[in-house]
Copies of this chain bind each other. A is one copy, B any other.
């Protein structure tokens, strides 16, 4: 069989995710990996999930194991809508679609919006998992430059003259940089979105994981406030997930959007996988409906991850050579390191792996031929002693090459 001749043209634009391939290299337990976007497994509320699974199976077993609606479990959609509502801005459960993780939301949004060759605006660097999904559409990506305060919104408006189909960004604790759009820039962005009716995908997997600084409202909420809207009827499409605040293994994410968008997404979701696991939706709801528990759990995550972030930053300060710089995130799971221009992070990764320490080179996160000298570090997954040891080894590696 000559399979290669049979695959669709779009498959030539597909490739295995760099991140997921590096994760395979780091499976050996002696490797200290800062590569994955993994939450700390020792913090998973395993007992609570055990109770929840037991309860929903005991009380509603046949129902939780049956096929269910494409839109998702009504009670879970209500809970999410309530959590997104603030003051006058009230999100309705009909504005929520449950997805199989937020990657599925990003993928389905491409299927409903993108024609081949469409123009799309993204931050530079941007989330590589979006690129993995969207690359086969052969889009024209236009990059908004970023600095330590997120995207430079002043540079966005000129790009809108080109009538892009939509814009995608992670405004809060961005992947890979960890940076956050300031409140002032959010206001500026919200005004632009409203003025241009710009479809704006706000991907927000990390928003609840803030360790320092002042919280800023979502772009979704600020755009509604800018228009004085009381419901979700604007052009912001918000993607959320329970993966980072509960567990990723249940694959429960969601999209919040205007009704015509939800309606189209439901059609795609029916074609894609009929619906998200009924069982996992019930388990997630059973855990999350105890909002006191959920808030306490998230507060604990914040405490632990704050310590790990601070420990990583302090250890980097001590052991990294001065030619190297990095971001200082107020939340999320990642920070990004920039080496001198002449260094290539893929070469450095080989040296680091020889010392049993791993990270993700960021070149695939960049639009254009830049970023080869950058890499991403995750600080949520490794325990403190391994953070210290891993950063020391990485510092030694960097000192050999700078």
Contacts and interface: CB of A to CB of B under 8 A. Distances in A.
Interface stretch (A79-87, A245-253, A295-303, A338-346): A245-253
Contact of A1 (B7, B235, B277, B278): B235
B46 A53 contact: no
A325 interface: no
Classify the interface of chain A: helix, strand, loop or mixed: helix
A3 B273 contact: no
Interface stretch (A59-67, A184-192, A309-317, A360-368): A59-67
Q: How large is the interface on A (under 10, 10 to 19, 20 to 34, 35 or more residues)?
A: 35 or more
Given A36-B67, A100-B100, A10 B53 contact: no
A237 B38 CA distance: 33
B66 A103 contact: no
Given A1-B234, A41-B66, A11 B112 contact: yes
Given A266-B16, A279-B249, A50 B58 contact: yes
A68 interface: yes
A273 B107 contact: yes
B20 A272 contact: no
Nearest to A19: B270
A101 interface: yes
Contact of A17 (B104, B136, B270): B270
A294 to B, nearest CB: 16
A276 interface: yes
A172 interface: no
Residue in A67, A100, A129 whose Cβ sees the most chain B Cβ within 10 Å: A67
B57 A61 contact: no
B271 A14 contact: yes
Nearest to A281: B249
B38 A104 contact: no
A119 interface: no
Interface string A1-27: 111101111110011110010011000
A72 to B, nearest CB: 13
A66 to B, nearest CB: 5
Contact of A115 (B9, B113, B129): B9
A42 interface: yes
A44 interface: yes
Nearest to A246: B65
A331 to B, nearest CB: 20
Contacts of A14: 264, 267-268, 271
A199 interface: yes
Contact of A271 (B54, B61, B107, B264): B107
B53 A114 contact: no
8 contacts: A1-B197, A16-B266, A16-B270, A23-B69, A44-B65, A103-B271, A103-B272, A273-B273
